[in-house]
Structure 1
Amino acid sequence: MNVRRKPTMDDVAKAAGVSYATVERVLNGRGGVSREKEAGVLDAARKLKLDRALHEVSVRWLRIAILTQKPDSPYYAALRQGFELAQKSFETYRVLCSVTFFDDLEPRSLANVIARASQKADAMIVVAYEHPLVVDAVSAVAKKIPVVTVASDLPDSGRLAYVGIDNRVAGRIAGELMGRFVGRDGGQVMVIAGLRTYLGHEQREGAFRAVLRRRFPACEVVATVESREDERSTERLTREAFRKYPELSGIYNISVGDDGIARALKALRREQQTVLIGHELTPVSRALLIEGVMDAVLDQSPFVEAVRAVEAILGHYNRGAPSGLPLQTPISIYLQENLPAEF
């Protein structure tokens, strides 16, 4: 009678092409093994179905450098909370999420922070805009460790993956909503971007304009201005726009500062005449939807983005079981009548 022999660490060593000592260090979490050999050992052990809790095996703590803007706006605050949740959720896999905030948004400053943060990291997650200095800095890091971009992609940087919404789809949705809300007679429309050098912002604006041009030609985009991701600037930008275009029919706010736009609209008594569409369901945008000042909000679930970004890094290092969730996160459209319960 043949009894199937259980696989051993010797079998794993032969399959992975490494020594017994290397397998022992990997499976007992003793460290001192390269990332490539670690991945090979774990892959071989799983294929051989070694009788171990391999999903819990890690050679050492995996250090993930996370680089974002300061959590001054609701989106970045929610993103930070998402990474805190990911840290707790994936602690079994020995993950350390270290968040670094950019000092400012100048490209050389971003590039310096990216280079510095990568020095003691095994992987990087970054939210950054497209600029030659920034792309070069990320490309240099991506040659050494896996990099995941979030919210706005850097497709020419050699990054491992992009996690976030399809920003062109978001822009098209905003364009259709604007065209329908403004109505058949159309009118003048303004776009407020954060930074157009963010690929995501550029894609949203381009798709928004394309839909209006193709399907709602009576809606004319008369201006695109930049808030530079400064929430305090949107009230001033809105007031300046109305001095040039007193009958402005719609505003598409791609980034932060819905409350500033709302203050300007109320002061000018235009809150019921001017359609306002924005991004991210926050306490502020929720209140503005209920009040009727905002007409629609497109939400991209930064919590989900943060968790999926960390999962992408874990997948690269063969740690944990893949969730099967797509890297492209869904877009939710919120109007006054379909707001979820507030927790």
Structure 2
Amino acid sequence: MTARRKPTIGDVAKAAGVSYATVERVLNGRGGVSRAKEASVLEAARTLKIDRALHEVSVRWLRIAIVTQSPAAASPYYAALQHGFELAQKSFETNRVLCAVTFFEDLEPHSVARVIERAAQKADAMIVVAYEHPLVVDAVSRIAKRMPVVTLASDLPDSGRMAYVGIDNRCAGRIAGELMGRFVGREGGQVIVIAGLRTYLGHEERDGAFRSVLRRRFPACDVVATVESREDARSTERLTRDAIAKYPELRGIYNLSVGDEGVASALKATKRTQQTVLVGHELTAVSRALLIDGVMDAVLDQSPFVEAVRAVEVILGYYKRGTPSGLPLQTPISIYMRENLPVVL
């Protein structure tokens, strides 16, 4: 009997369909190899069980462009998301990944598309949080033809993106509808929805599912309007005051985006905190305090911190770097009320 021959670089080159020199450059991290060939070499080397730490192999730096709203201009969700990307940068350091975050200058379609295209110029992959608009989808589609793109929080299903990471927004809307219907009670009443931008597919899905549950299960609850904050947290107080003036018997508010503090300020100023049910998203220092004070009734949380790390991991998986965690792309939804708030460490 003869001992099994140990795989060689030549075997890897043959399996990957590349030259000996290409395999050597990849395994020694010398660069000068296309991303597609690099991925093929690493895949072949792992399949043949080449005797090296391939999950830690010193390959060229992988540049991930992350395009999203600025935490300063939007909700605490984006601050948590940025923190998650910072953690991903540190956690995946041995995989030689660079997370470059670019913020939108404003939310006008031309501007959003321009920032997305600019951020992709020196990138190997992209993670994007953006709304649906022909100009935005077209920009992402062009980028997706030359690199992997992951959409986060709100999907762009017709963009050619590789994957979507985030919650099931329809499920979130249904949960919010169930909570609202139960809290308002049999007598029902008028309810409004405060969206950020309904062009965000995630916001549209939450709104539609929320309405569907109330219409089907709690018909006494009448959703009289959906108003948009345009992701401006400062506008929600004005929107809430306007709604109370127009609908003096308002019984419920579903704020599916930013600005819980503005909604709360309007309810307090009009002495309607006890008569009006408020359901929102994201457990933050503000929403936690509002739950404790009894101003908010429930908060749906989606762990943006985890979403950011998972999105980076998806990109690494495409380039055959690191060990897959096996975590699902769809992140779970947690429901928090005053009595089940987690301890602050």
TM-score tier by shorter-chain length is over 0.9
Distance 1:313 1:240 in 2: 44
Q: How does 1:320-339 map to 2 (within 5 A)?
A: 320-339=322-341
Report the Cα offset of residue 330 of structure 1. Answer: 0.3
3-state DSSP of counterpart to 2:60: coil
- Deviations for 1:204-238, whole angstroms, at most 9, x for unmatched residues? 00000000000000000011100000010000000
Distance 2:334 2:252 in 1: 21
Q: Choose from 217, 238, 241 the match for 1:239.
A: 241
Partner of 2:28: 28
**Matching residue's letter, 1:190:** I
Partner of 1:104: 106
Distance 1:205 1:196 in 2: 8
**Matching residue's letter, 2:155:** D
User: Structure 1 length normalisation: TM-score?
Assistant: 0.99
**8 A contact 1:190–1:222 mirrored in 2:** yes
User: Structure 2 length normalisation: TM-score?
Assistant: 0.99
Distance 1:119 1:232 in 2: 34
Q: How does 1:104-123 map to 2 (within 5 A)?
A: 104-123=106-125
Partner of 1:312: 314
Distance 2:97 2:104 in 1: 22
Distance 1:18 1:227 in 2: 54
Report the Cα offset of residue 58 of structure 1. Answer: 4.6
Partner of 1:258: 260
Over aligned residues, Cα RMSD in angstroms? Answer: 0.7
Partner of 2:283: 281
Q: How does 1:1-343 map to 2 (within 5 A)?
A: 1-72=1-72, 73-343=75-345
Distance 1:37 1:137 in 2: 26
Report the Cα offset of residue 15 of structure 1. Answer: 1.2
3-state DSSP of counterpart to 1:59: coil
Distance 2:47 2:196 in 1: 48
3-state DSSP of counterpart to 1:319: coil
3-state DSSP of counterpart to 2:215: helix
Distance 1:231 1:19 in 2: 56
Distance 1:242 1:160 in 2: 43
3-state DSSP of counterpart to 1:221: strand
- Deviations for 1:99-118, whole angstroms, at most 9, x for unmatched residues? 00000000000000111111
3-state DSSP of counterpart to 2:164: strand
Distance 2:201 2:47 in 1: 40
**Matching residue's letter, 1:8:** T
Distance 2:12 2:58 in 1: 16
Report the Cα offset of residue 56 of structure 1. Answer: 1.0
Report the Cα offset of residue 17 of structure 1. Answer: 1.4
Distance 2:177 2:315 in 1: 34
Structure 2 residue runs of 5 or longer lacking an equivalent are none
Distance 2:133 2:148 in 1: 20
**Matching residue's letter, 1:336:** R
Distance 1:56 1:33 in 2: 18
Report the Cα offset of residue 6 of structure 1. Answer: 1.4
3-state DSSP of counterpart to 2:132: coil
Distance 1:254 1:52 in 2: 49
Identity level (%): 83
Deviation above 4 Å: which 4+ runs of structure 1? none
Distance 1:244 1:71 in 2: 32
Aligned residues: 343
**8 A contact 1:67–1:125 mirrored in 2:** yes
Report the Cα offset of residue 256 of structure 1. Answer: 0.4
**8 A contact 1:173–1:208 mirrored in 2:** yes
**Matching residue's letter, 2:43:** D
